[in-house]
Structure 1
Amino acid sequence: MSGDHTAISAFLDAQAAEAGAARNTLLAYGRDLRDLSDWLGRRGLALAGLTRDQIEDYLSFCDAQGLSRATRARRLSAIRQFTRFALDEGWREDDPAIRLSGPGRAKRVPRTLDRDQIEALLGASSGLGRSPVDRARNLCMMELLYATGMRVSELVSLPVAGCRGDPAVLVIRGKGGKERMVPLGPAARAAMRDWLAIRDNAPQGSALYRLLAGRG
């Protein structure tokens, strides 16, 4: 079992350093691979000798436990990444997961808000908060999320330097360190200007100074 944990740790370190995997991805990989390791351990087996049949048996076990197709597909993805890494590192001479088909993901049509709902949400944001500072921050966040479609994790790590000068376009760093450019409309730009004016007057290092963007 300790050998499994050492191998999993080495794999996660490589994913972080070489593939630039996000923290949430690494946490999911770690959980999924440790679950597989525990399943193997209860049968006197280990990751070093993992076979295609064992992977299929494990996925059948996950299905019997009532895990969703999305969860089983994610676990198979983690296993594939790990076995490919083990092959590249010379830990084994084959990849037992290379031609293994997974359960796939159920296709769902994304649910969206209509125009009236969006306007109501943005309107409510301007009045949401215990103080004018809170309300300005909340409106800025909602306007930026709506204008750019960025993730919340991307919003809170947005560099302040990229927001200055009333930009018409923001550069957003997403998963894997990839950057993309997104346009800003007048409402988002106005909300961002108002928030920066408040933030810049706060003492450097204070909680208020750090809100919304983590770097100056």
Structure 2
Amino acid sequence: MAQDAVGAFLAMLAAERGAAANTLSAYRRDLTGAGEVIGDLLRADKADLARLASAWADLAPASLARKSSALRQFYGFCVDEGLRDDDPSPALPRPKARRPLPRVLSHQEVAALFTLAETEAAATPEGARMLALLELLYGSGLRATELVSLPLMAVPRDAPFVTITGKGGQQRMVPVGGRAQAALSQWLRARGGGGRFVFPSPRGGHLSRVRLFQLLRDLALRAGLDPEKVSPHVLRHAFATHLLEGGADLRVLQTLLGHADIATTQIYTHVDSARLVALVNARHPLGNVGSR
């Protein structure tokens, strides 16, 4: 009975929320693991769920939060579907895990990367590829997987955007600025024909995430930066943070990043507090009351 309910729950996640295969596998593992501790999930009561706190005592806060979230969503589904009359999930352990702020490169550090990449792009095809990768990571905020697996057909020749297939198979249109368009055009000329990906691998298929990571760290080292500070995700963070600092709307940023939940985007509101105070003083209707 419980396995049927779990199957129905996972089917709902796939159909209604577009959950990716890895996400569904993680939910299945978490629910199966909980069932091994407390028995039939459909018959479990609050006392049963409270026992999970000791069973999960050695887990990292993030893992504990994920497992509890899986069960809360499962029981919410069961109540909605009439499989249970009550929701015992309030008895689940609730870790107080603070989400760490993302590492972000300064404007000066980003400029150092681009200065070197632009110089090398004029000299070799590998340099042209590196500049195109850098432009799309920092200029458009693509995830590493989205970038390396970008198909040629997703890049219109004359349109200032690319079509990205993100997490859960969700598609979004991502603007590509003039600089990135120029870098892409330069790389596509140097790339030549063959393959269906913008960034092909010599062995077939596309450039790997690991290779992208290595290329960025090598560039950082040559640019005089600490390579430990530079990664595809750090450049995505820099894209988001610098856009927000420039006045971008949080909802627009959510769309550009492909976040399903605005709460994920809100992590980027860690901008300079002095700038926010100055913004309130300059733009709020009461900001200049004292000077009247």
TM-score class normalised by the smaller sequence: 0.7 to 0.9
Matched-pair contact (CA < 8 Å) for 1:87–1:93:
yes
Question: How far off is 1:36 after superposition?
Answer: 0.8
The one of 129, 146, 152 equivalent to 2:138 is: 146
What does residue range 1-216 of structure 1 map to in structure 2 within 5 Å?
4-40=2-38, 45-62=39-56, 64-65=57-58, 67-97=59-89, 102-122=94-114, 134-176=126-168, 178-198=170-190, 201-202=193-194, 210-211=205-206
Q: Given residue 103 of structure 1, which amino acid in structure 2 is its aligned partner?
A: P
SS in 1 for 2:42: helix
Matched-pair contact (CA < 8 Å) for 1:51–1:96:
yes
* Unpaired stretches in structure 2, ≥5 consecutive residues: 208-292
Q: Given residue 34 of structure 1, which amino acid in structure 2 is its aligned partner?
A: T
- Structure 1 pair 10–138 and aligned structure 2 pair: CA distance change class (3 A): farther
Matched-pair contact (CA < 8 Å) for 2:53–2:93:
no
- Structure 1 pair 60–203 and aligned structure 2 pair: CA distance change class (3 A): closer
- Structure 1 pair 100–158 and aligned structure 2 pair: CA distance change class (3 A): same
Q: Given residue 19 of structure 1, which amino acid in structure 2 is its aligned partner?
A: R
Q: Given residue 61 of structure 2, which amino acid in structure 1 is its aligned partner?
A: R
Question: How far off is 1:159 after superposition?
Answer: 4.6
For 1:202 and 1:159, locate their aligned partners in 2 and report how far apart those are by CA, in whole Å: 12
Question: How far off is 1:114 after superposition?
Answer: 1.7
TM-score, normalised to structure 2's length?
Answer: 0.56
Deviation string, structure 1 residues 19-76 (Cα, Å, up to 9, x no partner): 2112332232122112212222xxxx221212222222213431x21x2222111111
For 1:135 and 1:74, locate their aligned partners in 2 and report how far apart those are by CA, in whole Å: 41
Matched-pair contact (CA < 8 Å) for 1:166–1:189:
no
TM-score, normalised to structure 1's length?
Answer: 0.73
For 1:50 and 1:198, locate their aligned partners in 2 and report how far apart those are by CA, in whole Å: 62
* Unpaired stretches in structure 1, ≥5 consecutive residues: none
Deviation string, structure 1 residues 94-143 (Cα, Å, up to 9, x no partner): 22226867224314222211233324444666799xxx555544432232
Q: Given residue 48 of structure 2, which amino acid in structure 1 is its aligned partner?
A: Q
Matched-pair contact (CA < 8 Å) for 1:163–1:192:
no
Question: How far off is 1:10 after superposition?
Answer: 3.4
Q: After alignment, is 70-79 or 203-212 more displaced?
A: 203-212
Matched-pair contact (CA < 8 Å) for 1:145–1:151:
yes
Q: Given residue 206 of structure 2, which amino acid in structure 1 is its aligned partner?
A: L
CA RMSD between the two structures: 3.3
Query: May I ask how many residue pairs the two structures share in their alignment?
Result: 201
SS in 2 for 1:170: strand
SS in 2 for 1:111: coil
For 1:28 and 1:122, locate their aligned partners in 2 and report how far apart those are by CA, in whole Å: 38
